[in-house]
Each structure stands twice: as C-alpha cells, then as structure tokens.
Amino acid sequence: MFVNRDRRRAQLTASPHRYLRCALQPSALNPRCTRSSRSYTRALNMQLSSVSPKLLLQLCISTIHCIFARFFSKVCSWTAGARRGSASAVSAAADSKPNRSEDQDATTPTSVNYHFTRKCNYKCGFCFHTAKTSFVLPLEEAKRGLKLLKDSGMEKINFSGGEPFLHEKGDFLGKMVQFCKQDLQLPSVSIVSNGSMIKEKWFQKYGDYLDILAISCDSFDEDTNQLIGRAQGKKSHLDNLYKIRTWCQQYKVAFKINSVINTFNIEEDMTEQIVELNPVRWKVFQCLLIDGENAGEAALREAERFVISDQQFQEFLDRHSGVSCLVPESNEKMRNSYLILDEYMRFLDCREGRKDPSKSLPEPLSNCFSPSPRMRFPTGLPAPDQGFLRRFLDHLVTTGTAPAPLSLLDIDLRTTRPPSRPQTPRPCPRPRPRPRPRHVQP
C-alpha cells in the first residue's frame, strides 16, 4: 500500500495535472475500481487523503498558470491579427489613393450615350447596334434613370439608336430632351440621327432644349450611300442633310456630322462639302466590328466587307488634314472611351470586341411592379454621392479598367407583389335554347 502511495506521489510531483485526470477517472490509476458511485467515492477519498497540502497548492498554482497562459495566448493572437488587418487596410488605402498629378492630367469624361431604341429605317451594312429587339423603356422609367445619372455627376447626354426620331415620330425623344435640359439642367444635350425622320415642327417644339444635332453622312455620292445602305427608297439623303443644316442655323442648334470610313468611301475627298456645310465638328469613325451585332453567327449585319486597315484610315485622315473641324475616332478609342447605355439602360462593355451588358440602371417595368429598389454598389466603388460618376470615369481613364461589373449601379430588385399572369380571353358562353311551350290538349 505504501509502495503504491509513494508511486502516486512521485507521479503527482512529476505532473500535477495528472492528479485532476486521476480524480475524475479513478480507473485510470486503479483498474480494479468500478464505475459504481460507492467505489468512485472511495477511490476519490483515498487519493485525496494521500496528497499533502503542499502538492494541492502546487496543483492549484499550475492550473491557474495554464489558464492564464491560454488566455494571454488568445489575446496575443487577436491583437496580432488586428495589427495585420490594420496594416493591410493602410497599405490598401495607400495603393488605392489616386495620384493627384495623374488626376490633373487625365480628362474626366462625364458624357453618356443612351441608345434607347434599336429600330431604324436604314440598313447600313456596318451598323453595330442592330434591331435585335423593339423594346423601348417607358418614358417615366427613362426619366428616373436619367435622374440617377444626373445625381451621380453626369453632365452630358447623347441620345442615339437605331434612329431616335422613329419612335413616336420624335415626340418621345423630344420629351426626354426637354426633361434633361429643363428639369435636370444638363449643360449639354445632343442627338445622333440619320436625318430622314426630322421635321421642322420638331424644332419648333423642342429646338430650344437641344444643344447639338449630329447627322450621319458617310458619302456625298448618292450611289455610294445606296451601296452602304444609308438610304430609304428614292429619298435623297443629301437633300435632308442640307435642309437640316438650315434648320439648325434657324433654331440655333449646333450642327455636327458623323462619318464612318469604310471600303466604299475610303477614296473619296469630302473636303469641299464639309467646308461648305461648316459643321462645328466632323467626327470621322473607323468601321468597327462588334461580335453579335455586325460580326459572328448571331449578327444581323456582315460588316467584314466594310472593314479597312489602320493604314487606310490614316491615309484618309491625311487627305483631309486641312479641315479644321475634323475629329478622328479609331477603333481603339471607340472601344475604350465611350459609356454606352442600351435600351434597357444597361452599360455595355465593348472592350473585348463584344457588348457585355451590366444590370439595368432602373429596373424594367416588365420585371418590377411597384418597386422599392435596394441599391448596393459593387466592390471597389465609392458611396453614391454627387461626384460618384466623375470618380468612376476617372478610374476608368487612369487605370484603363473599370470595376466589375461595368455598371453605375448594381440594383437588387424587391417587388411588392408578384407579376400577374396574362389573362387569356374567355370564350363567350353559348345562349341556352329556350324551352318550348307545352301544348295542353283539351
């Protein structure tokens, strides 16, 4: 018995924590102990009586030391993680802090091109925004989206298509132009059109709200315009061009010309006609291929036969270098420097040679009834204050990349009630035949 007691004391002196385990599990030191309550109590009292107060004090001190050691180790790990997190946040903030010199040198584009319709009465072979759908956002929804853009810092809006004057004979377009100039007080409101649907009556009603009107004219030869597809029957495209130029002078609207240089007009010299028309700006574009629009299997146009090389485009620019209002736009500039909204008010990313849409700025009415949208911005975008769009575009210019997705707002839709199913007309019930009167025999 004394030998076993000395052995337990030696084990306890070597490892005081083993005493606690032995007290809770007496069968670990004495295999003959059973799990009954009486044997468990007897074994525990025997072990406690065999331990001196000095060893118990040593056990308590060791236990308290272990508790404090574990506590301080966790506290140290927490503080170390917080230091690493704060250091990474500081470094990330230092990396994301824009360079003032770069911001001062970079030009901040605050212009948005809104292609609110795809329908067009012309069939230009190189068109990169084809009539894949006839959808047009309702006027109130379009106004709400324009208001969001204005609140985010937009200063210029350009309406295009398709042919923007085709929908509701230009009245829909005129109401948006009036809203942007009169209600939103935008500094610049412009339109790009082919000119075939413009009437003087439109200038009389909405001319005071329009700043710039751009007319597309690729050639001053009627046969070339027919080959390109910029014609409608026997109507003269050039006659409309000169007529609209006169109206712009009369109603004090800046006149602008857009030309797409392709294989059919690459050898043409337009200097004399451009000088005669005297536009405020002559935008010259290089024919651009967009997968799914004018190139590829799902495209409605085959623009490969219109494409010219960079050298041919430069030769055309050199030939017209004497025109002071000439502003060239190569394919690279067209892909990277334009903010385009489609008919659903989704931003289109054309940098990869195709149009990758983002989420809609205002949700379409077809997907939302009595909406109460919850707006959340993608990772990396600032809060929605007055200069948000400016900083968004500044980031696009300085870094060459835009935060993903390429969207001004990433909107989660919450509908107050599910959309109703379309009601099918019920067939009219057939009239029941009247019962014949019974003849009573006398």
Q: Active-site residue numbers?
A: 120, 124, 127
Give the orientation angle of helix 171-178 with respect to helix 139-151, to 10 degrees: 30
Question: Which ranges in 132-287 belong to alpha helices (H)?
Answer: 139-151, 171-178, 200-206, 222-228, 237-250, 271-277
Residues 6 or more apart from 439 whose CB is under 8 A from it?
none
| Distances, alpha carbon 56 to alpha carbons 10, 13, 41, 283, in Å | 14, 10, 19, 94
Please count the other Cβ atoms lying within 10 Å of the Cβ belonging to residue 32.
8
Report DSSP letters for 79-133, one per residue. Answer: HHHHHHHHHHHHHHHHHHSPPHHHHHHS----EEEEE-----S---TT-SS--S-
How many residues does the structure list for the chain?
442
Rounded Cα–Cα distance for residues 431 and 8 (Å)? 106
379-386, Cβ contacts within 8 angstroms, sequence gap of 24 or more: 379/403, 384/151, 384/152, 384/409, 386/151, 386/152, 386/153
Show the beta-strand stretches assigned E in 321-416.
326-329, 340-341, 346-349, 356-360, 374-376, 410-412
Rounded Cα–Cα distance for residues 299 and 130 (Å)? 8
Q: Are 285 and 334 in contact (CB under 8 A)?
A: yes
Q: Between β-strands 374-376 and 356-360, what pairing exists: parallel, antiparallel or unpaired?
A: unpaired
Q: Are 166 and 119 in contact (CB under 8 A)?
A: yes
Take residue 308 and report the two structure tokens written for it. Answer: 């010219």
| Terminal-to-terminal C-alpha distance of the chain | 133
Which string of b and e fits 111-136 if b means at least 16 CB within 10 Å?
ebbbbbbbbbebebbbbbbbeeeeeb
